[in-house]
Chain A
Amino acid sequence: MIEVLKTGWHNTIQDLGRFGYQELGVPSSGAMDLNAFTWANKLLNNPSNASCIEMTIKGPTLKFHQPTYITITGATMPAMLNSNTVKMYRPIKIQKGDVLQFSNVTSGCRAYLGILGGFETEIILSSKSQYKGLTLHDQIDKKSLIPIKEVPFIPKGAVLKTPLIDYQSIFLKSYKGPEYKLLNTQSKNRIKTLTFTVSRNNNRMGVHLEEKINQKLPEIWSCPSLPGTVQLTPDGTLILLMRDAQVTGGYPRILQLSDDAINLLAQKTTKDQIKFEIKALH
């Protein structure tokens, strides 16, 4: 059992996501940065879908009521175990009674706290990913107790073989969306060359950009949308849909982000800069 002594900023339980229910209007959800999430489980030799705590900007303060192993991946978020600093991207042994505490991120936006065997929270439609209106809790609550598994730790040895995503990079590899062809040359050039700024309006549903596109495209018949879809709204705002986005939308879809770009964007926050790098698919 883990006790939440203090909540951080926005901390949710996430796994790989909720699949097969998009036809019922259910977003896929899941960890925003699937790369960092996957590493958290790999380092603990967990099943690939074991749930982690996604910690946005600042993580919680947790008291462990049983021994276990944890790991911290993703954004650089300084952590203290009792009175010692802990390192990221490695398994950390936890004793009963230990207290883990986080400070604000110093780089990136979202860190992941992995735990041996995953967190034992409610499963709704085959996933533990918390989503408002679907799961009982939409984030980690103060004073709550989170059950964990009691499983032996079998170290895997191999760590960090593949290169991590460079969180400092501003380049989002993207593909042309279905309505890209409706853009005029000026808009296309702006999208290809401008450095955009992430606006305050950025969360698990989507990331809005500050710089606008000066072209009004007609609305389209509501059609499938998914994480990574870049929409252009009538007022010229670009919205980059993220993991909790609606499954259908009526705004023109001018780009589709690559999977790596979604993971990188998950680490961007207000005032961060991004640039689109449009790649041909074949």
Chain B
Amino acid sequence: MNKTLPFTFFQMHPNMILLEWQQEPSSGLLQELLFLKKNVKEHFNGISQITQGYCSLLIQWKDAITNLSDIKNKLIFLYWSLDFTSIPEKSKHWNLPVCYDKFFAIDLELLSSKIKLSKDAVISIHTQSIYKVYFIGFLPGFLYLEGLNSRLFFPRKESPRMDTPKGAVAIGGKQTGIYPNQSPGGWNIIGNTPIPLFDPNKKNPCFAVPGDTVSFYPITIEEHQLILTNGNPLSYLKEKK
């Protein structure tokens, strides 16, 4: 075989191997990571969990690894045996209601004046894009979303706000995201969604999984209130496909 392996191995703990791809994040790489992760779980025994970043997978075993070279060879063999070109497209699309009213959008005024776009233009650009869920981290249910239109890039705040509210939709640098719970946060708040992103009492606490796509649709403050007080806010989440 003349093909070069696209990832490197790094053992960072007796129980853990880190696989790292030396490339920029892309949706192609994301598909590869998710597909490999699923297959590693199926083909190896004794794995406690696999976590994922933009360009890496961290595989954790329950016990210390005693046969590193065997595991490496098995991983390489598994990788080459997989057909990444025929990954079944099972991802879902979620359309989330967001209220961009100034009551919630406390940083929209500043952001719109600094990037020289009207508030309506910011909302329109923000709601027209499709965002891809790369992984979940930072807080329970915080989706790392890719796909923010470069016209809306805006740096994080110099010092984080101590109490970014639950449901806040925000822009930080080249990213947009939703705060699943009240927390400190340095991103600029441009709206709020009444949809709960994380419910620890549910069997599936988070409706979205990596690989899914997300978009936003604007609602009024009255509609926001209505959804919040409705017994089943998730029914306002429009799932497509």
Contacts and interface: CB of A to CB of B under 8 A. Distances in A.
Interface string B142-181: 1010000000000000000000000000000000000011
A134 B49 contact: no
A158 to B, nearest CB: 24
Contacts of B25: 221
B20 interface: yes
Interface in B1-30: 10-14, 16, 18, 20, 25
A246 B138 contact: yes
A178 B10 contact: yes
Contacts of A21: 140, 205
Interface in A84-143: 124-125, 133-134
A36 interface: no
A282 B10 CA distance: 12
Interface residues of B, number: 40
B144 A24 contact: no
Contacts of B60: 226
Interface residues of A, number: 30
Given A133-B139, A224-B56, A178 B12 contact: yes
Which residue of B20, B140, B183, B210 has the most chain A CB atoms within 10 A of its CB atom?
Answer: B140
B91 to A, nearest CB: 16
8 contacts: A124-B200, A133-B183, A134-B200, A223-B53, A224-B51, A226-B60, A248-B137, A258-B13
Contacts of A253: 12
A224 to B, nearest CB: 4
A223 B138 contact: no
B198 A224 contact: no
Interface string A14-27: 00000111111110
A26 B13 contact: no
Nearest to B209: A23
B54 A223 contact: yes
A239 to B, nearest CB: 15
Contact of B13 (A19, A23, A133, A228): A228
